[in-house]
Structure 1
Amino acid sequence: MEQNPSPEPRNNSRILLIVALFLVLLGINGVLYWMNRQKNAENQQLTTQVQEKDDLLKTQITEYEKLKADFERQSQEVQAMGLSNDSLEAKIASINADLLKLRSFKAGSFSIKEQQRFKQRAQNFEAQLRKKDDEIAQLKADNEALYTETTTLKERQNRLSDTITTIARSNQELSEKVAVASRLQAENIRVGVVNSRNKEKDDDDNEFKAKRVEKIKITFNLARNDVSPKETKQIMLRLIEPDGAALYNLSTGGGTFMIDGSEAFYTAKQDIVYDNTRQPVQFLYAKGAAYKTGLHTIELYEGGVMIGKTTFTLK
């Protein structure tokens, strides 16, 4: 009887094929797993690089914003000192342009070359900023020194002005005192009358009959005064009638002069050379018309100041 061949070799081949297929699949899975890990690692590295670039970009933007704020501060300080800030405004404009460029970069596009370029520009701006701060500090120090010097000079000027004012006031007061002290004084004033026969009459009571008076005679001495300069003095006489009006006639030597800033009439005047010897002075006045009865007043002036006064009565 013929025997059937054994199925074992066929089964073994099948098993070997399955094992080989499994090993191949296992190898493929291993390769895929390794490739996937590599890809993940690369993605992680790329993500890290993008994040680092973004962080550097944010840091650079923050640095530029700080530079802009500092340059704006400098601009305000320079402007406050009344100086031109055109160069600072130009730097601020440049920084604004750089900020606009930095903010336009997309995620991960901030290249190393750009990083280096903007970093170098930021360093240059920083150096300029420090230099300008030093200049501003020196300007402030100079201004402070100038202000102190100016204040000191003003104080000295004020003190000098006060001193000059004090001296001027003292001189004015002294001049006023000298003016008062140098005023002449008429002493021993006497009044007499002269009739139509040229006869004189004196009366201790200074009372006379009006119808007999042709002329009025006034005599007096100028008192000694060592302060008043020896020079020509102009003596004014005012003869005031009972109604209060001063006799005034251009034809008999009358005129006007100033008393305390106001114009007044005088009856007669004469120039004398004052010699401080109690020299006598005499006025002889003829009205040329009948005299009024009543109390008459004699006033004597020199330099617009009254130096003597007396009265007499015509009856």
Structure 2
Amino acid sequence: MANDTLEKESNRTPEKDSNRKLLVVGLIIVLLSINGILIYMQQQKTQENEEQKEIIKVKSTELENQIKVYETLKADFERQSAELKSMGLTNDSLESRIAAINSDLAQLRAFRNSSFTVADQKRFQLRAQNLEMALQKKDEEVAKLQTDNEELFTEVKGLKTTQNKLSDSIVSLATNNTALSEKVALASKLEAQNLAVSILNDRGKEKTDDEEEYKAKRVDKIKLTFKLGKNEVAAKENKEILMRLIEPDGSALYNLATGSGTFEYEGKEQFYTAKRDIVFDNTNQQVTFIYSKGAPFKTGKHTVELYTEGYLIGTTSFTLK
């Protein structure tokens, strides 16, 4: 056996040992190469994983940015809607656009739980650009409307000021006209002149109260005559003259059957005894009243008052014994 070992060792040659070494070295080199390749591949995979994570992170940021863009657009369109409503205006297309933005926002938020592709990103970016252009155009329209509204408000305010001034002028003119009318009315007031009272008995005989004493029981009628003074201001037209015959106790004779009635004087209702309708002709014309009481007259002082157009135009008195 020892001999066999010696024989084997004797069979080794330097050439065989060299080949064996080369084989071992080659094997080592191959193993090292494979190991290097494996390490490189692992590094590449790790790098790819990191890059993929970065891509996903970038997409998530882009999605959130896009959501913010749409939220800003929604707020701006709602601002426009509020501005129009403050001017009393509405815009259906604006409300429709806000509804569309709400729909887009709902879709974008849904992408948080799913993939947000480049195509999706481009699609929503394009829609956002169109919305921004529409927003800018609508802002210009709203600004013009606000300017026009302010100008209109200024004009209306100016018109109101003018109207108030005009109203004040009208009130002032009306006041002046009223005052002037009152002055004209006062100036046109008629005046009963030369009033005279006479007494008629039952036989028609006439006596004046300044003649001999006349007893009341013999009086059948009272006759009053007077002249209307000239007045250039008074209109030449029909005039209604009222006579009040006031008895000694202070009450006015009043009988509907003989044409008596009521009228207003200085805010109070008064009774008149008789009335005459005449046409004033500014000729100092004479007017006559003949009144029959239909019953005995009372003794004492009687007063006669004449009225027309709300004015007391004459008064006189007579006494019966």
Class of the TM-score when normalised by the shorter of the 2 chains: 0.7 to 0.9
CA contact (8 A) 1:259 1:305 kept: no
Per the alignment, in what secondary structure is the counterpart of residue 243 of structure 1? Answer: coil
In structure 1, what is the Cα distance between the partners aligned to 2:177 and 2:306?
29
Match of 1:190 among 196, 206, 209: 196
Shift of 1:256: 1.5
Deviation per residue, 1:264-283 (Å, 9 max, x gap): 44333333343434444333
2:138 corresponding residue in structure 1: 132
Shift of 1:120: 0.8
The answer as to 2:170 corresponding to 1:164 is: yes
In structure 2, what is the Cα distance between the partners aligned to 1:287 and 1:234?
21
Tell me whether 141-150 or 48-57 shows the greater mean CA deviation: 141-150
In structure 1, what is the Cα distance between the partners aligned to 2:245 and 2:37?
148
1:75 corresponding residue in structure 2: 81
> Using a 3 Å threshold, how does the CA distance of structure 1 residues 159 and 20 change in structure 2: closer, same or farther?
same
Whichever residue aligns with residue 201 of structure 1, its letter is T
The answer as to 2:100 corresponding to 1:121 is: no
In structure 1, what is the Cα distance between the partners aligned to 2:241 and 2:111?
106
2:102 corresponding residue in structure 1: 96
Whichever residue aligns with residue 254 of structure 1, its letter is G
* Structure 2, unaligned runs of 5 or more: none
CA contact (8 A) 1:207 1:313 kept: no
> Using a 3 Å threshold, how does the CA distance of structure 1 residues 286 and 73 change in structure 2: closer, same or farther?
closer
In structure 2, what is the Cα distance between the partners aligned to 1:180 and 1:233?
15
1:255 corresponding residue in structure 2: 260
CA contact (8 A) 2:238 2:278 kept: yes
> Using a 3 Å threshold, how does the CA distance of structure 1 residues 154 and 38 change in structure 2: closer, same or farther?
same
In structure 1, what is the Cα distance between the partners aligned to 2:22 and 2:39?
25
% identical aligned pairs:
54
In structure 1, what is the Cα distance between the partners aligned to 2:280 and 2:260?
22
In structure 1, what is the Cα distance between the partners aligned to 2:192 and 2:166?
44
Deviation per residue, 1:110-132 (Å, 9 max, x gap): 22211111111111111111111
Alignment coverage as a number of residue pairs:
312
> Using a 3 Å threshold, how does the CA distance of structure 1 residues 52 and 179 change in structure 2: closer, same or farther?
same
CA contact (8 A) 2:209 2:318 kept: no
Whichever residue aligns with residue 241 of structure 1, its letter is E
Tell me whether 25-34 or 222-231 shows the greater mean CA deviation: 222-231
Question: For 1:1-315, what aligned pairs fall within 5 Å after superposition?
Answer: 4=6, 5=9, 18-106=24-112, 109-195=115-201, 198-203=205-210, 208-249=214-255, 253-260=258-265, 264-315=270-321
Whichever residue aligns with residue 150 of structure 2, its letter is E
In structure 2, what is the Cα distance between the partners aligned to 1:238 and 1:226?
27
Per the alignment, in what secondary structure is the counterpart of residue 53 of structure 1? Answer: helix
Per the alignment, in what secondary structure is the counterpart of residue 182 of structure 2? Answer: helix
Tell me whether 51-60 or 241-250 shows the greater mean CA deviation: 241-250
In structure 2, what is the Cα distance between the partners aligned to 1:15 and 1:232?
160
Shift of 1:66: 0.9
Tell me whether 182-191 or 192-201 shows the greater mean CA deviation: 192-201
> Using a 3 Å threshold, how does the CA distance of structure 1 residues 173 and 207 change in structure 2: closer, same or farther?
farther
Shift of 1:12: 6.5
In structure 2, what is the Cα distance between the partners aligned to 1:288 and 1:86?
89
CA contact (8 A) 1:54 1:108 kept: no
Per the alignment, in what secondary structure is the counterpart of residue 296 of structure 2? Answer: coil
> Using a 3 Å threshold, how does the CA distance of structure 1 residues 74 and 207 change in structure 2: closer, same or farther?
farther
Tell me whether 117-126 or 182-191 shows the greater mean CA deviation: 182-191
RMSD value over aligned CA atoms? 3.1
> Using a 3 Å threshold, how does the CA distance of structure 1 residues 130 and 203 change in structure 2: closer, same or farther?
same
| TM-score, normalisation: structure 2 | 0.83
* Structure 1, unaligned runs of 5 or more: none
> Using a 3 Å threshold, how does the CA distance of structure 1 residues 244 and 254 change in structure 2: closer, same or farther?
farther
Per the alignment, in what secondary structure is the counterpart of residue 193 of structure 2? Answer: strand
Per the alignment, in what secondary structure is the counterpart of residue 104 of structure 1? Answer: helix
